[in-house]
Amino acid sequence: MLLVLIRLTFILVVAGLGVRVARVVGENEIGKPYVFFIGLMLAAIAFVMGDLLTPRKKIQTISAIYFGVIVGIFLSNLITDAVEPALQLYINPKIHSAIASVLMIFVTYICISTLLQTKDDFRFVIPYVEFSKEVKGARPLVLDTSVVIDGRIADVAETKVIDQPMVVPRFVLQELQGIADSSDKLRRNRGRRGLDILNRLQKSPGVEVRIDDAEIPELAGVREVDQRLVILAKHLGGKVVTNDYNLNKIARLQGVDVINLNDLANAMKPIVLPGENLNVKLIKRGEEAGQGVGYLDDGTMVVAEQGAHHLGEIVRLIVTSVLQTSAGRMIFGRMELLPPPKGNAVASGPSHHENPPPTSHGRNRDA
């Protein structure tokens, strides 16, 4: 709305100036007044249309044009002052004025063209000073798709440890929606889990989450989500939060700070410890013979020894080890042996009032 008012004010000011110029032209009989008025109005409208057609201007380009005009006028005035005595002797004053105007146009054009072509190579005047962006307040956290699906970011945020605003780019939200609409059940569940996590973050008190719709010029033509994340984080002066090992490397190579939740988990207690029980559905065979592989809701891989014959079943495992790296977490476990039927334990022996003799499965039965 403010830009609309500025443009209308500009056209009105030019119109007033056109009326004044037309009046002066008419009084001095230099030409037809309405021609000057119409010419000024058409120039103003063309100027505004050019502004509308280039909504996202770069400050480097604007500053180059601005300083190019200043330098061009300054140099043309110097040249004109230097040759003016000779011109006044041999050239008519009106022609002298026209030559000065043409000289100013050419010199200004050369200055603007030179500055535009060399703005990335030299930094010797004000438009070439490379200012670092001053970020007011806490630096925002730009969330990746993997970290949203993981879900632990919501748990961390609810502990009040994070006081920075969390930014979810629109293209990350679209990727989550695409995963949630997948025909693959496992992939579809992961996408829906990510959307639920975002909904949970937005409803959490004290957690600031916003969807970023900004279309910065640097994103034009970039299709890869990882690269778009890095560009957006650099533009916002924020940090990328991810579980993706490759994105971690790409961002660090481009000078963008990264928070890897897997690295953070290395310094904290894991979700499961060796000796604990875990229920998981086995969906495929592992790399080693006899292994079955399943996944937790957050995508953590669970490898079950001797689980290859129980694919498609929900089995109970005893966790034997947990492997945590920057690439993710893996849980290894073995099938828990079920207690024998009660009929076998008392088939022929002491009565049910007596303690049964110890067996190799006695601990499991007592449990």
CATH of segment(s) 277-335: 2.40.50.110
Structure confidence at residue 106 as a pLDDT band (50, 70, 90): confident
User: Which CATH entry fits the domain spanning 141-266: 3.40.50.1010, 3.40.50.280, 3.40.190.10, 3.30.1340.10?
Assistant: 3.40.50.1010
Name the more confident of 265 and 152: 152
Q: How is the chain split into domains, by residue range?
A: 2-128, 141-266, 277-335
Bigger pLDDT: 344 vs 2: 2
Helix or strand or coil: residue 240? strand
Q: Is residue 344 scored above 60 in pLDDT?
A: no
| pLDDT above 50: residue 134 | no
Token pair for 5? 């008012």
Placement of tokens 């001797």 in the chain: 306
Closest CA to 242 of 147, 351, 100: 147
DSSP H stretches of helix in the chain: 2-28, 33-53, 59-90, 93-118, 145-150, 152-158, 170-180, 185-203, 225-236, 245-253, 261-266, 342-345, 362-366
| 147 and 242 Cβ atoms separated by less than 8 Å | yes
Q: Of residues 68 and 309, which shows the higher confidence score?
A: 309
Q: Which residues pair with 315 in a beta bridge?
A: 280
Mean pLDDT, the chain, rounded, equals 77
Q: The whole model's pTM is what? A: 0.44
Burial class (CB in 10 A: 0-12, 13-18, 19+), 61: middle
Give the count of beta carbons closer than 10 Å to the beta carbon of residue 129: 9
What integer pLDDT is reported at residue 195 of this predicted model? Answer: 92
- Name which of 111, 103, 106 is nearest 70 in CA terms: 111
- According to the per-residue pLDDT averaged within each range, which of 93-107, 124-138, 306-320 is highest? 306-320
Pair of tokens at residue 138:
């806490």
The closest alpha carbon to 167, from 233, 228, 245, 217, belongs to: 233
- Residue 92's pLDDT band, with cuts at 50, 70 and 90, is low
Q: What is the pLDDT of residue 350?
A: 42
Per-residue pLDDT, 366? 39
- Yes or no: say if 259 and 239 are a contact pair by the CB < 8 Å rule: yes
Q: Please report the pLDDT score of residue 293 as a whole number.
A: 93
Structure tokens at 234: 């650099």
Structure-model confidence comparison of residues 334 and 25, the more confident one: 334
Assign 292 a pLDDT band (cuts: 50, 70, 90): very high
Cβ pair 74, 81 in contact under 8 A: no
Q: Which of 297, 294, 186 is nearest to 305 (CA)?
A: 294
Backbone angles phi, psi at 161, to 5 degrees: -75, -35
Say what the pLDDT of residue 205 is.
85
Looking at residue 35, its pLDDT comes to 77
Other CB atoms within a 10 A radius of the CB of residue 47 amount to 13
pLDDT at residue number 246: 85
